[in-house]
Structure 1
Amino acid sequence: MQNYIQKGDTITFTSAEAVASGQGVLMGALFGIASTSAAAGAPFEAALSGVYDLPKAADAIAAGDRLYWAVDADVVTTTAEGNTLIGAATEAAADAAAYVRVRLNGVA
């Protein structure tokens, strides 16, 4: 195909804020995990698919639950309203757990 660009599992993001490697980042409708640290305004690669342990809100989560990114708190939540769908839980996580294992959906 002459119009093929790339596979798209990893793309270049630019964030208004500094990011750390492994941090969840929302760029418009795209959610990714920063592959490297970057200063504010600097480009960096972000993975759009895969399974990652991400910080979570105080929600009890069941395996298979839809998960959303709460940009105001930089955590995963089960609350859809006002948040962006990022994927689904691959394992259950108790209310008190600090992290949840998330399979990113890779779509906008």
Structure 2
Amino acid sequence: MKNHVQPGVNVTLTASPYAVDSGEGVLAGQLFGIACGDAENGAEVTIQTEGVFDIAKESADVFTLGAPVYFDTATKTARSHTVTDSNSAGESEAQIGVAVEAAGAGASTVRVKLCTPVALA
């Protein structure tokens, strides 16, 4: 196909509205992925949009196998529930995948199978 650009597993975009470290989540509208390298705010970063990743989570959150996983851009962490009151400052959140292992309170990460984000109203 003459119009095929790339498989789309890795996508390069601008890190905004925050700088990112390699391995951190990046949510840009409906596009979520894990940063493949460090990038300052406004610089280009390549993200991986498919796969299973250990993502930092809020220590109090609990995930069961198959539970939806949300991403909070204010804290750059996976959440087990939406945090609508954090959105007043312009942060956003979306369902980014499902937990492929249980993660209890006190755990620092949750193992997530990425999916196409679902925007929250």
Query: Which residue number in structure 1 is paired with residue 97 of structure 2?
Result: 87
Structure 1, unaligned stretches of length 5 or more? none
The C-alpha deviation readout for 1:48-106, integer Å capped at 9, x for no partner, is 01111111122111011010001111111121364301000010000111110011114
Distance 1:12 1:75 in 2: 21
Query: Which residue number in structure 2 is paired with residue 96 of structure 1?
Result: 106
Matches within 5 A, 1:9-20: 9-16=9-16, 17-20=18-21
Distance 2:80 2:109 in 1: 13
Q: Which runs of structure 1 show a deviation greater than 4 angstroms over 4 or more consecutive aligned residues?
A: none
Matches within 5 A, 1:1-108: 1-16=1-16, 17-57=18-58, 58-80=60-82, 82=84, 83-106=93-116
Q: What TM-score do the two structures reach when normalised by structure 1?
A: 0.91
Structure with the bigger percentage of helix: 2
Q: What TM-score do the two structures reach when normalised by structure 2?
A: 0.82
Structure 2, unaligned stretches of length 5 or more? 85-92
Aligned Cα RMSD in Å? 1.5
Give the count of matched residue pairs.
108
Q: Secondary structure at the match of 1:64?
A: coil
Q: Secondary structure at the match of 1:105?
A: strand
Q: Could you tell me which amino acid in structure 2 is paired with residue 53 of structure 1?
A: D
* 8 Å contact from structure 1 (residues 56, 75) kept in 2: yes
